[in-house]
Amino acid sequence: MRFVFLIPDYDNSKTHSWINYTVQRSRMQFVKDWWLRQMRVNQVYGGILNIMRHCAVARSCGVDAVLATKHGHDTYGAYNLYPNLPFIRWADRQPDDICIVPDCVTELINQVEGPAIAYLQSPIFVFDNFDYRDSQVALWTDSPYMKSICQKTYLEKEIQIVPNIVDNQLFPFIPQSKREQGLVFAFPRKGPEFIAKTQEIYKAKGGNHWHFELIDGLSIHELAKQFRRPQVFLASAEIEGCALPPQESMAAGVVVVGKTASGANFCMEHCETAMTAENPKEAAQCLIDLENAALRDKLSYNAHQHISCYFPENDPSEFWHQIIHRYAMTAPEKINALREDK
């Protein structure tokens, strides 16, 4: 029994960037669909990292698990979380493999001969382009928000919420007192207007404690190193899929303030594990409130405790032991053994 985790190839070449730019400007949907099927990305999205982590946890639970790409080798380099994970070509999968297919290319499930799992992590990639009613096809997602979206498309099909995996080795807890005083991190590619307006209103309110750094384009290892510095992370995305940055912030002891991304940031509980703010005015007031060191300490410790269930050795390992058992009971060799016993 083997689990095959499909991910795109990473390609940051100028050729890829030019084709991607041209395709995104095209009005022809079949061109965009063709480009998706090429399974190449020039950014390492959180959903890809989450798939890598699931592959690693599955292997730690004693099962054979591999990453699959179109070309069959590691193209991620420094962006790869686990350089020792084995790769295969997607075309070299076997009929009895259990294939986990990312949401952007779920139509490839129709090519899978055996069990398949659609891993639906992003609200912009929920497509009715595969036979989801097939009894060999399972649906996974990562939050109650995503489940509600999926239920509108995949009618009368069970959709399982699986745990995100938050790497507490990569994002170790560092108390607020040992972080750079007054430093806020934000991701400008996610809601830049929200970030700018929050800064503007905060200053207009007389706030001068917090200063902002905009972080973009870093590898996950560089990002984790930088996340040892700030006291606060501003969650600015309007929509999220697996919403890993706020969860990784919580693991690290960084206080999260900002949007719940329509519920995707489901670990954010106002004044308990985070400071929720759906508009810049609320966010600016939260930053004023967070000038209180005692409040920051309370939130950082509460959030770390809350998010610890998603550390690899906790819910994710328990989840994978259950999945391995479930598929082992339906594997052809197991069914044949049961028939022989009878």
Residue 8 and residue 50 share a domain: yes
Check: CB of residue 245 under 8 Å from CB of residue 233: yes
Residue 338: pLDDT band with limits 50, 70, 90: very low
Distance, CA of 32 to CA of 186 (rounded, Å): 30
Domain that holds residue 216: 176-310
Within a domain: residue 171? Answer: no
Residue 202 and residue 160 share a domain: no
Distance, CA of 81 to CA of 177 (rounded, Å): 29
pLDDT value at 57 more than 90:
yes
Residue 8 and residue 150 share a domain: yes
Read off the pLDDT of residues 172-213 as tens digits, 9 standing for 90 and up: 999 999 999 999 999 998 889 999 999 999 999 999 999 999
Within a domain: residue 317? Answer: yes
Residue 277 and residue 335 share a domain: no
- Cα angle 317, 105, 143 (rounded to 5 degrees) comes to 45
- Cα angle 113, 76, 139 (rounded to 5 degrees) comes to 35
At residue 263, the pLDDT reads 64
How many Cβ atoms sit within 10 Å of the Cβ of residue 34? Answer: 11
Within a domain: residue 75? Answer: yes
Residue 205 and residue 130 share a domain: no
Residue 329 and residue 295 share a domain: no
Within a domain: residue 170? Answer: no
At residue 332, the pLDDT reads 60
Residue 228 and residue 139 share a domain: no
Mean pLDDT of the 311-339 span: 81
- Cα angle 178, 229, 179 (rounded to 5 degrees) comes to 20
Residue 306 and residue 322 share a domain: no
Mean pLDDT of the 242-263 span: 88
At residue 81, the pLDDT reads 81
The total number of structural domains that make up the chain: 2
- Residue at token pair 């669909």: 33
Helix axes 244-252, 293-307, angle to 10 degrees: 110
Residue 128 and residue 48 share a domain: yes
Q: What is the dihedral of CA 134, 135, 140, 144, to 10 degrees?
A: 90
- Spell out the long-range contacts of 139-142 with Cβ–Cβ below 8 A and sequence spacing 24 or more: 140/100, 142/50, 142/241, 142/242, 142/243
CATH number at residue 253: 3.40.50.2000
Token duo for residue 175: 């108390």
pLDDT value at 339 more than 50:
no
pLDDT value at 336 more than 60:
no
Read off the pLDDT of residues 137-157 as tens digits, 9 standing for 90 and up: 999 998 888 999 999 999 989
Residue 186 and residue 80 share a domain: no
Among 221, 201, 222, which Cα is nearest to 212's?
201
Read off the pLDDT of residues 252-261 as tens digits, 9 standing for 90 and up: 999 999 998 7
How many Cβ atoms sit within 10 Å of the Cβ of residue 160? Answer: 12
Within a domain: residue 196? Answer: yes
State if pTM tops 0.75: yes
Residue 257 and residue 189 share a domain: yes
Percent of the chain topping pLDDT 70: 95
